Chain A
Amino acid sequence: MSGFPLRRPRAAASPRRLRTAVPAVLAALSLTALAACSGGSSSDVPGGAKPAGEDVAKKADVAPDSTILPNSTMAKIKARGYLIVGGSQDAPLWSQLNPISGKTDGFDAEMGRLLAKYIIGKPEVKIVSSATETREALLQNGTVDVVFQTYTITPKRAEQVAFAGPYYSSGQAILVKKGAGGIKVPADLNGKTVIAGANTPAIAAIKQVAPDAKVVTFGSDPECVTALRQGRGDAYVQDQALLVADVKQNPDTTVVGEPFTADPYGIGLGHDDVAFKTFVNDWLRKIGQDGSWQAIWKQTLGTVVEGNPPTPPAIGGVPGS
């Protein structure tokens, strides 16, 4: 036992070499792990494949100059040259960044581009992401012009922000593993562990139909589905359109019954901006009539939901709008 190296001997050069080798090994390891996680081919991202890729925003109408009132929010956006949207980059079918094209695809994303085209004349949009936690604050302090983010209109929220619309009526549904009995109606969720997306309307919806359910939340839809398949919960509650897409990718899961809530999605606006709200509502009526709304529905949600586009909901038809 010579040299009792309580201090590391200077001669030992191997740890130094390790310093560079270890991160490389780790990187390789994590890559294999990631590859193992993402079973299935990567090409079938829901909403990624568009039928006959026509660009709706290209043909869409532009607002007549008379409606862009001087000193209004619309005039400000037009002068700036792009629309700032509070939205997501990770919601399949609604607003998801396509890493190949660099474009954000989905119903909400297309709505944003359509509105930008209407105000400015070109579909220029900048999406401010991670807005779920802070979208009310972002609208109040003017960081974003509008919020397109599966933003359910509620009277509580309407005290903080204004809502144009609703522009879509959705519902929460229940996804379970195929062959797992025991959950037939929403009340069956009582006493079960239920997975939900963090910051989604599902959390409140579950509490309402099954107060004794234990809610576990994950950040994104793929994480929630993985958690369900790995047995971290008995059911997953999410917007029905999203669940339909999930079933396509994961045939070992199935949607139980029909949606059990009605979630009117609205466009979040600054609270006291009456002129802008009227303007956006007029635009919503217009795209509902000229078929652009239906066209983008077909390109996004329509890729997984069967049948013809639904009728757009009546503007101002829910409390809070």
Chain B
Amino acid sequence: MDVVLRHLSAFTDGITTTLELTALSFAGALLIGVVVAALRVSPVAALRGVGTVYVETFQNTPLLVLLVLFVFGLPEVGVIFPLFTTAVIVIALYEAAYIAEAVRSGINTVSIGQAEAARALGLTFGQSLRLVILPQALRGVVQPIGNIFIALTMNTSLAAAVGVVELTSAANRVNLLEAQPIPVFVGAGLGYMVICAVAGLLTGVIERKVAIVR
């Protein structure tokens, strides 16, 4: 394991980039995901259609294909973002589809009586969604969203293929020098495990905190 210790700075830099990538793209995914879920339950057919197309598009395309298309395809039409930014955008867009489905399932668990009551009080669709439905829906899907967070953390390793030096890419570079793949990749694996274990524990804490006692 001393290979990992000798190159500790490479590993910590890699973990930092992985954490930044995870945090930024998760924030983006959460935001887009909630909006898409709202689209999918909207009373306007066209908006429902947009939401459905979004989810089916991003859920049914491999993330690596999307990354390569965005990194090498967009510059062909004159749009060029830095690699890190591109990775954040693509991972956020991709994971948003999963978040949207999790949130939608949460919305479906909120009893229809809640929506009817909100309507009886004179709230508009937007108001009832924002003030009545979503707060209850989100509380119910903390665990699934936590799972998506963990999957997202693992998925950030694909950014190594398009030049972002995160944990996997850093491990690759160390291995190239040291020629000891097993300790190097076990070290990288432990890094991912720690991040995800912490995320899992936090998810449990949040879930217990916000649970609705019925």
Contact = CB atoms under 8 A, between A and B. Distances in A.
Interface of A: 1, 3-8, 12, 14-15, 18-19, 22-23, 26, 30, 33, 36-37, 133-137, 154, 156-157, 159-161, 195, 198-199, 201, 203-204, 216-219, 223, 226-227, 230-232
B130 interface: no
Interface in B44-87: 45, 48-49, 52-53, 56-57, 60-61, 65, 68-69, 71-73, 75-76, 80, 83
Contact of B60 (A22, A159, A160): A22
A193 B214 CA distance: 58
A198 B172 contact: yes
Q: Which residue of B80, B115, B179, B185 has the most chain A CB atoms within 10 A of its CB atom? A: B179
B60 A30 contact: no
A12 B48 contact: yes
A232 B163 contact: yes
Contacts of B157: none
A157 B180 CA distance: 8
A15 B115 CA distance: 23
A23 B179 contact: no
Contacts of A37: 72-73, 76
A7 B133 CA distance: 11
Contacts of B165: 217
A22 to B, nearest CB: 4
A18 B49 contact: yes
Contacts of A204: 176-177
B178 interface: yes
Contact of B48 (A8, A36, A134, A232): A8
A121 to B, nearest CB: 33
B203 interface: no
Nearest to B160: A198
Contacts of B169: 198, 217
Q: Which 6 A-B pairs have the closest CB atoms?
A: A230-B75, A157-B179, A15-B52, A216-B163, A22-B56, A134-B181
Contacts of B89: none
Main secondary structure of the interface of B (DSSP, over half): helix
Interface string B100-121: 0000000110101001100100
A3 B116 CA distance: 10
Interface in B119-161: 119, 125, 128-129, 133, 160-161
Contacts of B129: 6
Which of B40, B68, B107, B119 counts the most A-chain CB atoms under 10 A from its CB?
B68
B17 interface: no
14 contacts: A7-B112, A26-B57, A26-B61, A30-B69, A37-B73, A156-B177, A160-B180, A198-B161, A203-B176, A217-B165, A217-B173, A226-B72, A231-B80, A232-B80
Given A137-B181, A161-B179, A198-B160, A18 B43 contact: no
B74 to A, nearest CB: 9
A18 B52 contact: yes
Given A19-B56, A22-B60, A216-B83, A36 B43 contact: no
Contacts of B52: 15, 18-19
B163 A133 contact: no
Contacts of A14: 45, 49
B31 interface: no
Most buried by A among B129, B160, B165, B180: B180
A123 to B, nearest CB: 29
Contacts of B48: 8, 12, 15
Nearest to A224: B163
B172 A12 contact: no
A6 B133 contact: yes
B162 interface: yes
Contacts of B69: 30, 33
B163 A156 contact: no
B23 interface: no
A218 B162 CA distance: 6
